[in-house]
Amino acid sequence: MRLQVVLLHFQSFSTPDEDGQHYVLKFIITSDAAVGKSSLLVRLTDRRFLATPDPTLGVEFGSKLITLPGPESTVVKLQLAQRACAASPGAIIGGGW
């Protein structure tokens, strides 16, 4: 029943026309079937709860932009992927992600 959220990639960017910093973080969510990966992904990216979700075929993706409060413009982009069942992160990286 264990669900894992693994950080695959982290990168920071400075933007020429702003003082702030931008960050991109890529995560993969893995677990056995029907543990709640899609529910977590949709809740985080869309603030919805799926009452009767269908199983994931292949890979599902989602992303979310967060602007951190403060004097400088700091934007964090979360890119998330979930795979149908427990699989090594390499299986998705191999697919070009």
Letters for 23-42 (x = contact with Mg ion by CB under 5 A, - = none) are --------------xx----
Does the protein bind ligand GTP through residue 55 (CB under 6 A)?
A: yes
The residue from 5, 25, 84, 93 that contacts ligand GTP (CB under 6 A) is 84
∠ CA 80-85-90 to the nearest 5 degrees? Answer: 60
Q: Is 44 in the site for ligand GTP (CB under 6 A)?
A: no
**Contact in structure between 79 and 27 (CB atoms under 8 Å):** yes
Give the span between the Cα atoms of 4 and 13, in whole angstroms: 27
Q: Considering the rule CB under 6 A, would residue 33 count as an interface residue with ligand GTP?
A: yes
